[in-house]
Structure 1
């Protein structure tokens, strides 16, 4: 079940029959969608008003989606403690359920995580040096997760997705009184994405048999932020249990999460970048 305002693409003849996703609430899709969800705006276990990016992307590819993402997740709970399964625990769960069993040539493994890491680093660390060290440890742990997944074997295709402009999440805007206070969060997002790009390059060099794709959603975000359209990139739709009347014109569903239309935009841009660039 998909929103009435969208027509999901039919099965494309792309190489990936199956897709596995690991990450946080930007990917966690919980239970199957029901038509009643769109009448009540209650989407079971989804922190949005409809399908998530991974769901749209899998639909565009005509792929089966296997979701191991957990809302609230970080890369590593030993670095930034949280009560949900971190990336490594998600990978352990995947391995316990059999690990990579589908043909490697037609299976895509995607990781989209880091929003909670940069958010907690921004909120909990007071100095630039401490934030930088936390970021380095997080990226090193991310790389270790890639190694873990790859050596479960057979794994050939890996997709790493960079962060959205989460420095502009409404919750961040609520924490600052002037724009200069946003800068440390912006620097964290930029540095994290740059770090992901670099570790993708390193992984390719160390594992020439793997195809590693790094997708950066920031160019798409820049187009949205710089456009003269009526698309609202600042105000959340859901405020104190009240829904906005123009949810399809908003970037943010609530203080932390994108709307389903924003998720669709990312999925569409990712699809175009990956298969038609």
Structure 2
């Protein structure tokens, strides 16, 4: 579905559409003159921006999700789901930014692999020509359902994040001379990442003292309801111009330090009741990807299913081979498994973060994020039906 501008259509004299080369040249000029000098001043001396790739493989990268990929959108929201304090970001070149880990998130590492010279900025503080390279809409505690995460305070649900994409597209029009066809062509070459669903289980379905969904739905019915809503949200992203879309499966939440600390007092056994419910959702999500890719529902779209569940299970079972010594407790936190409370302000984390799979009760370390990004980018070990690198080249 193409976004139309009736005023432009009614004009007798229509402007010539820009070619892909002209678009890239225009964006490059804007980026160099308006954005790059400032970024270079901020980043020149940091290790993260050494050996910069020559050119990004796609013109822009848009990110939707929760705390696994949030990079600061929750910083000014009244919520318990915030990470804009030390020791969060202790290994990140720009320090504490609001990322829920010690360094880079999965999408940070993926942006680097895609060739972007800088990290994709948060939507909360990005406007103007910077939007042309993409933004991160992710918000800690958010979910597919609007009420998900309310137990932690404010957040931007998936519906709100998609609305923000719509606002972004409106702002981007001015840089394409009002030519919506050319803008849609540009957006069609970009990568869109969406990682949703974790909080719909963690901070909704399996929190019966706060939500009624576990009594209102069976696990199968709940997954079906989530997928119906998610399909509508992904369709709206398509309507705004998204064509190359990565959709991430929900990971094995039953194995995170938070659940290990709560599950019948057993600090090493995963909660398979939670994992079983998640597998129902993931199976449906993969079927949704197949439905989209048959070309009849969303013509021209290509979806890639990112199997974050299997990748995590493989890490649990082969941790030593991947360089991890500790897989059942957070590097930073309080209580059993360092999983009962997340990192407290100025708490001293573990010394060697590279040996830990989890940074805190819920989130992977930078090392785990980078490993997963590298594997999923260039191989099909955890992507279906093609790798992310292949998706970028389409």
Give TM-score, length-normalised by structure 2: 0.61
**d(CA) in 1 for partners of 2:248 and 2:51?**
21
**d(CA) in 2 for partners of 1:48 and 1:143?**
29
Counterpart of 1:202 in structure 2 is 291
CA contact (8 A) 1:29 1:51 kept: no
How many Å apart are 1:6 and its aligned residue?
A: 7.9
CA contact (8 A) 1:9 1:59 kept: no
Instruction: Name structure 1 gaps, 5 residues minimum.
Output: none
Q: Does 1:256 align with 2:325?
A: no
Counterpart of 2:282 in structure 1 is 193
**d(CA) in 2 for partners of 1:145 and 1:40?**
32
How many residues get paired? Answer: 271
Q: Does 1:115 align with 2:115?
A: no
Using CA pairs under 8 Å that are at least 6 residues apart, name the structure with larger relative contact order, 1 or 2: 1
**d(CA) in 1 for partners of 2:164 and 2:313?**
36
Paired residue secondary structure (2:169)? coil
Deviation digits for residues 198-253 of structure 1 (CA, Å, limit 9, x no counterpart): 11112223123111111112332233111261612111000243311121111111
CA contact (8 A) 1:122 1:131 kept: no
CA contact (8 A) 2:60 2:187 kept: no
Paired residue secondary structure (2:231)? helix
Paired residue secondary structure (1:136)? helix
Instruction: Name structure 2 gaps, 5 residues minimum.
Output: 1-42, 74-83, 117-132, 174-182, 335-346, 380-386
Identify the match of residue 141 of structure 1 among 202, 224, 229: 229
CA contact (8 A) 1:16 1:105 kept: no
**d(CA) in 2 for partners of 1:132 and 1:113?**
17
CA contact (8 A) 1:14 1:61 kept: yes
* Superposition RMSD in Å: 3.2
Bigger mean CA offset, 157-166 vs 216-225: 216-225
Counterpart of 2:313 in structure 1 is 222
Q: Does 1:246 align with 2:352?
A: yes
Q: 1:14 to 1:173 in 2, by over 3 A?
A: same
Counterpart of 1:44 in structure 2 is 97
Paired residue secondary structure (1:147)? helix
Q: 1:57 to 1:28 in 2, by over 3 A?
A: same
Structure number with larger C-alpha Rg: 2
Paired residue secondary structure (1:98)? helix
Deviation digits for residues 68-100 of structure 1 (CA, Å, limit 9, x no counterpart): 11111111215x362311111101012123257
